[in-house]
Amino acid sequence: MKKLIIILGPTASGKSSLAVKLAKKFNGEIISADSRQVYKEMNIGTAKIKEKEMKGIPHYLINILNPDQEFTLSQFKEKTIKIIKDIQKRGKFPFLVGGTGLYIQSIVDNLSIPEIKPNQKLRNQLEKKSAEELFNQLKELDPESIKFIDQKNKRRIIRALEVCLITKKPFSEQRKKGRLLFDTLQIGLLIENKILEKKIEKRTELMIKEGLVQEVEKLIEKYDPKLPSMSGIGYKEVIPYLKKEISLEETKKLISLHTFQYAKRQMTWFRRDQRIRWIKNQEEAEASIGNIL
């Protein structure tokens, strides 16, 4: 099997810049494993890497869809495998980089993903319920699935319920591991909570300065603010500010708080995978990659 290197970790830990340095050193190209960065026009709130920061390294699965377009796990897996094989065919090393745990696992374990088309009528009914209500419903239908589905992620819960209700089978039973496709090295970027919290606060301030409010304002002029893409951190907090329901200071505090809570949930997910090699700096990452290459 050909090699695949994965750089993962919590949001704001510095994965993107580390990946660029590593790809530069090891003749690599980067595929994004981020469920939000696929959307065009959503740049600041998703902390999307800027072109100048890419240092000439090709990046894939960034800016491929409009915010009102659907993007499923199945689509991610299909596109990513195709890109990885193309990079390998050209004699380069693919780097899969991001913090969306399920996206990464779908590639590492070659998960079989239910090919169930979205049912808009059912989704509209489920959308009326809170994330807590939906999570409790899923818990009753498929207790196993709650081990890997984030109870705060309404979009993921709705998808799991949709699959359960349409197929009449537990969602968890339909996500089986397949034959491994790649010889994978997973490198996790480890960062202390206090340092991460400060980095998140600093990043939130920078987002506001760079024009996050204006970005959201333009988006809601063109798109429905209830779209799944608009439910991401950084967007859902700015909308109440634009409606004059909260102050800018409250908005910044909420973005930082929700981002840190999300980072902790990401780490809970990643820590379950004993195959991840945790590193603290570039040197340790280079040593790990050097060993397998």
DSSP string, 130-177: -HHHHHHHHHHH-GGGGGTS-TT-HHHHHHHHHHHHHHSS-GGGG--B
> Which carries the bigger pLDDT value, residue 124 or residue 63?
63
Select from 1.10.760.10, 1.10.287.890, 3.40.50.150, 1.10.10.10 the CATH code of 193-263.
Answer: 1.10.287.890
Alpha helix positions (H), the chain: 15-25, 73-89, 101-108, 120-127, 131-141, 154-167, 193-210, 212-222, 238-242, 248-270, 282-292
Per-residue confidence band for 146, with pLDDT thresholds at 50, 70 and 90: confident
Which residues have CB under 8 Å from 126's CB, separation 6+? 134, 158, 161, 162
pLDDT exceeds cutoff 80 at 115: no
Mean pLDDT, residues 168-180 taken together: 88
In this predicted model, what pLDDT tens digit does every residue of 31-47 receive, in sequence order? 999 999 999 999 999 99
* pLDDT score of 292: 87
Strand partners for 98: 8
**CA angle in degrees (0–180, nearest 5) for 228-241-151:** 40
* pLDDT score of 62: 98
* pLDDT score of 117: 81
Distances (CA, A) of 22 to 3, 51, 126, 284, 289: 15, 17, 43, 11, 9
Mean pLDDT of the chain: 95
pLDDT exceeds cutoff 80 at 114: no
Per-residue confidence band for 156, with pLDDT thresholds at 50, 70 and 90: confident
pLDDT exceeds cutoff 80 at 213: yes
Mean pLDDT, residues 114-137 taken together: 89
The pTM of the whole model exceeds 0.85: yes
Fold of domain 114-174: Histone, subunit A (1.10.20)
SS3 98: strand
pLDDT exceeds cutoff 80 at 245: yes
Domain boundaries, the chain: 114-174, 193-263
% of the chain surpassing 90 pLDDT? 85
Mean pLDDT, residues 6-15 taken together: 97
Half-sphere exposure of 102 (CA within 13 A, CB side): 21
* pLDDT score of 259: 98
Judged on CB neighbours under 10 Å (0-12, 13-18, 19+), 219 is: buried
How far apart are alpha carbons 64 and 231 in whole angstroms? 18
Beta-carbon count within 10 A of 56 CB = 9
For 62, the enclosing helix (H) or strand (E) is: none
Adjacency order of strands within the sheet including 28-32: 59-60, 28-32, 93-98, 3-8, 183-189, 277-279
pLDDT exceeds cutoff 80 at 179: yes
